[in-house]
Amino acid sequence: MQTGTKISAGAHAALIAVAVFGGAFRSEPLPFEVHEVSMISAEDYAALTAPREPAGTAPQPQEPAVPEPVAETPPDPAPTPETTPVQPEPIVAPQEPEVPDEPAPAIAPEPPAIRPVERVAPDPVEAPPEEARPDVVAQPDVTLDQGADTPQEQQQARAPEEAVDRIVTEADETATLAPLQSRRPPKVRPDRPEPAVIPAAQPDPTPAPETANAVNAALAEALAGGDPVPDAPTGPPLSAVEKDALRVAVSQCWNVGSLSSDALKTTVVVAVSMTPDGKPIADSIRMLSSSGGSDGSARDAFGAARRAIIRCGAKGFDLPAEKYGQWRDIEMTFNPERMRIK
Amino acid sequence: MIRILTGLLIGATLFAAPLAAQTGPLRIEITEGVIEPLPFAVPGFVPDTPGAADTARQLSQVIAADLTGTGLFREIPSSAFISQVTDFAAPVQYADWKAINAQALITGAVNVSDGKLTVRFRVYDVFSGAELGTGLQFAGSTDGWRRMAHKVADEVYSRITGEGGYFDSRVVFVSETGPKDDRHKRLAIMDYDGANVQYLTDSSSIVLAPRFSPTGDRVLYTSYESGFPRIYVLDVGKVQRRLLEQTEGTMSFAPRFAPDGRTVLFSLEQGGNTDLYSLDIGSGAQTRLTNAPSIETAPSFSPDGRQIVFESDRSGSPQLYVMPATGGEAQRISFGQGRYGTPVWSPRGDLVAFTKQSKGRFHIGVMRLDGSEERLLTASFLDEGPTWAPNGRVIMFARETQGAGGRASLYSVDITGRNLKQVRTPDGASDPSWSPLQK
């Protein structure tokens, strides 16, 4: 055996031994130290890079162990292949898959995985016009209309940017290609099995009145869609002309001639409920608030206001009946500021 | 960002406006009304005794006249009544009174027995269907039935208007007889409406400017009995007088009581100069309040007695000034064109009534204490000498017609300038002074 072969075999054996058993003797990493760098020879470098002894056996690094000289016994010879020539197998062309003659099975095969659209469009998108600018909200294009009653300000069309706040590459996309639900929902819901009929002990032919009323009320409420604001007036609102007519009608009976000077400085807010035929309900007339005078002045001012409402409403105010919901309850503010000195 | 916020604000406004319009009751504001007399009904008071029928009828008439005379009320004639009141305690048929538009109803009952008069009454707000206040009763002698009627009217007036009345009050004035070149003057006193005139002095000497005391029991006046104007104080009940101020070589006039009744302000002319003085009635001590070469006269106290408004020509023409009651710096409050005089402080303290001469005519007017909101209430050949009613709502003054046969009369007017009317007196009358309400 050649000496070189022996050395190579020994070195390989040592290398294998280190590779197998080296992990058991791996030492903890040494603390970081700073060493000066100096030029060394190739031999020194080889010695430094030689396998080390396991840590802990000796604090001082030892010289790499020199393998014992191996006896000059030739290694087992590797099996020598036979030299019989082997004929290469002929290349067989792949056969076409057989097409089944029978129809497709009743159960459709799993659909192909739904793939997202190509991230890269086959055709490039036209670049937006230069004057188009992105905006937070979409705005239509508005041009000046000379004939419009209320001309609008001219503005350019804008749209939000079609972008997200982060970029997701194809590599980062999670593969959620599997269908989330069955594509074969049952066409007919299976019949629920008939429950066993348990005869009632004493069946009640009619529900209790309270229950019936509650049910009816609930049904009525449900059908009516609920009434979130019970006191909200209903019907179309009164027009300005209709309000003015009511104001004038009350004014004609608001006699402040007998009021005191203090009462003529007092503004009172009076609430009144009306009947559907436009007549005030006398008992409903009440003073909600007053300002500018004493309690006595407010009482006198309220008296004059109440007389005005009752007198001119005795025959009914001219109010639209179809809007009764709007004027069923009225708050009238009687402000005598302009009536003080005339 | 600004566009976004503006858009949101406009959107919220447009969205909220219909919602606001559809919630709550209908709201309207009335700023224009009417000024017209309030119609009332006074059915004849029910006589509780057979001898009370005439008195009951007269009481009803005086009450109605008092209320109607204010210009604030209008009596509905009895011929329009649908129902009559024959029982004071019977419930009121509001529908019958509503039908004739009676907004106030006054019912009463009268009892006369042994020279004693008893009056009960109630006031109703017809359209409210409720009584105003509670029933009230007055009692007195049968001779005082007019005062009792005035008191009932005062109570009714107060309950309806919210202000104090002025019907149970008197007026002292100068009664004038004869032509202008031979005019005879004497002091007289009467009810506010001209009834019950009584004379306090004879016409042997000229009397001027009578002024009631705060309690109404005394009267200050100026008399030329001694040949020079002197100030006298007269006890109304006893009709006794005494000379209040006498300084040799001087003339004193234009007296006015202080609110406490113990001090008198007056003008004293000495050496051709007229200034204001105060006089303590008890001690007779005098205090000079002004010291100027001009004429200071016609002083009038504020209701709290702390200030004085008076007339002075220190600026070249008669104008109105205000100064502390103890004297000191005076501030001019009248700045309009013309001559201002005879200022009188309102019992409410908020206005000053005055006489103004401008462009050949005389006016009675009122203004605030700072000279603002001057309003001229009258205009004639000669209007002068305003005096306030106890409630500060009516002013009485003297008006004299033009010419040699011109005659002085008393008139009253509301401070709004409405309801100008003459007060009937047997003879000519001037220099009125309104008393406080009688107790």
pLDDT at B13: 44
Nearest C-alpha of chain B: how many angstroms from A186? 47
A224 part of a folded domain: no
pLDDT at B12: 45
Contact B25 A271 (CB under 8 A): yes
Poorest-confidence range of A71-75, A128-132, A159-163, B384-388? A71-75
A300 inside 8 A of chain B by CB:
yes
Report whether pLDDT(B101) > 70. Answer: yes
Give the contacts of A240 (CB within 8 A, at least 6 positions apart).
none
Query: For residues A114 and B183, which has the higher predicted lDDT (pLDDT)?
Result: B183
CATH class of B38-161: alpha beta
pLDDT at B415: 92
Instruction: Let me know: does B151 contact B168? Beta carbons within 8 Å.
Output: yes
User: Among partner residues A258, A263, A338, which is closest to B73 by beta-carbon distance?
Assistant: A258
CATH number at residue A289: 3.30.1150.10
Report whether pLDDT(A117) > 80. Answer: no
Q: Could you tell me which of A177, A286, A331 has the C-alpha nearest to residue B128?
A: A286
For chain B, give the mean pLDDT: 90
B339 inside 8 A of chain A by CB:
no
A11 part of a folded domain: yes
Contact A335 B30 (CB under 8 A): yes
Q: Could you tell me which of A43, A66, A44 has the C-alpha nearest to residue A53?
A: A66
pLDDT at A17: 76
- The interface predicted TM-score of the complex, written ipTM, equals 0.76
User: Among partner residues A299, A307, A330, which is closest to B103 by beta-carbon distance?
Assistant: A307
pLDDT at A128: 57
The single-letter code of the amino acid at B143 is D
Q: How far apart are CA A21 and CA A1, in angstroms?
A: 28
Contact A257 B34 (CB under 8 A): yes
3-class DSSP state of B124:
strand
Poorest-confidence range of B1-15, B103-117, B232-246? B1-15
Query: For residues A279 and A43, which has the higher predicted lDDT (pLDDT)?
Result: A279
The pLDDT of B315-331, averaged and rounded, is 94
Place of tokens 């109404």: B216
Task: Please spell the DSSP secondary structure of A83-139, one letter per residue.
Answer: ----PPPPPPPPPPPPPPSSPPPSSPPPPPPPPPPPSS-SSPPPPPPTT--B-SS-B
The pLDDT of B395-402, averaged and rounded, is 94
List the alpha helices (DSSP H) in chain A.
3-21, 42-48, 209-224, 240-251, 295-312, 324-327
Q: How far apart are CA B241 and CA B218, in angstroms?
A: 9
pLDDT at A90: 43
The nearest alpha carbon in chain A to B157 belongs to A258
pLDDT at A193: 59
Q: Model confidence at A131, in pLDDT bands (50, 70, 90)?
A: low
The pLDDT of A289-298, averaged and rounded, is 91
The CATH number of the domain covering residues in B170-434? 2.120.10.30
- Could you give the percent of chain A with pLDDT greater than 70? 36
Report whether pLDDT(A304) > 50. Answer: yes
Report whether pLDDT(B346) > 70. Answer: yes
| pTM to 2 decimal places | 0.67
The pLDDT of A328-336, averaged and rounded, is 94
Report whether pLDDT(A195) > 80. Answer: no
User: Among partner residues A243, A255, A263, which is closest to B38 by beta-carbon distance?
Assistant: A255
Q: Model confidence at A203, in pLDDT bands (50, 70, 90)?
A: very low
Residues 95-124 of chain B whose Cβ lies under 8 A from any Cβ of chain A: 98, 101, 103
A179 part of a folded domain: no
Which segments of chain B belong to CATH 2.120.10.30? 170-434
Which segments of chain B belong to CATH 3.40.50.10070? 38-161
The pLDDT of B28-54, averaged and rounded, is 93
Q: Model confidence at B96, in pLDDT bands (50, 70, 90)?
A: very high
Tokens of A280: 């005030």
The pLDDT of B352-371, averaged and rounded, is 95
B162 inside 8 A of chain A by CB:
yes
Give the model confidence (pLDDT) of B130-168 as tens digits: 899 999 999 999 999 999 999 999 999 999 998 899 999
pLDDT at B24: 82
pLDDT at B403: 83
Q: How far apart are CA B191 and CA B202, in angstroms?
A: 20
Report whether pLDDT(A220) > 80. Answer: no
Strands B46-47 and B104-113: parallel
A302 part of a folded domain: yes
Query: For residues A52 and B299, which has the higher predicted lDDT (pLDDT)?
Result: B299
A303 inside 8 A of chain B by CB:
yes
Q: Which long-range contacts (CB under 8 A, 24 or more apart) does B149-152 make?
A: B149/B58, B149/B59, B149/B62, B149/B63, B149/B66, B149/B119, B150/B62, B150/B66, B150/B191, B150/B192, B152/B59, B152/B63, B152/B106, B152/B108, B152/B119, B152/B121
For chain A, give the mean pLDDT: 67
pLDDT at A89: 45
A92 part of a folded domain: no
The pLDDT of B302-324, averaged and rounded, is 95
Q: Model confidence at A250, in pLDDT bands (50, 70, 90)?
A: very high
Domains held by chain A: number: 2
Q: How far apart are CA A330 and CA B29, in angstroms?
A: 11
Q: Model confidence at A244, in pLDDT bands (50, 70, 90)?
A: very high
Q: Model confidence at A74, in pLDDT bands (50, 70, 90)?
A: very low
Query: For residues A135 and B56, which has the higher predicted lDDT (pLDDT)?
Result: B56
Q: Model confidence at A132, in pLDDT bands (50, 70, 90)?
A: low
Nearest C-alpha of chain A: how many angstroms from B80? 18
The nearest alpha carbon in chain B to A307 belongs to B127
Q: Model confidence at A87, in pLDDT bands (50, 70, 90)?
A: very low
Strand ordering across the sheet containing B273-280: B251-257, B263-270, B273-280, B286-288
The pLDDT of B264-286, averaged and rounded, is 91
A217 part of a folded domain: no
A162 part of a folded domain: no
A271 part of a folded domain: yes
- Could you give the percent of chain B with pLDDT greater than 90? 76
pLDDT at A72: 42
Contact A260 B161 (CB under 8 A): yes
Report whether pLDDT(B314) > 70. Answer: yes
What's the angle, vertex CA A268, arms to CA A265 and CA A273, rounded to 5?
A: 155
Give the model confidence (pLDDT) of A41-72 as tens digits: 676 666 655 555 444 443 444 444 444 444 44
- Could you give the percent of chain B with pLDDT greater than 70? 95
> In chain B, what residues touch A254 (CB-CB under 8 Å)?
30, 32-34
Determine the structural domain holding residue A309 and report its residue range: 240-339
> In chain B, what residues touch A262 (CB-CB under 8 Å)?
162-163
Place of tokens 């007060």: B423
Tokens of B263: 């001090």
> Which of B31, B67, B100, B132 should be substituted to probe chain A, the one whose Cβ sees the most A Cβ atoms within 10 Å?
B31
Q: How far apart are CA B155 and CA B157, in angstroms?
A: 5
The pLDDT of A283-290, averaged and rounded, is 93
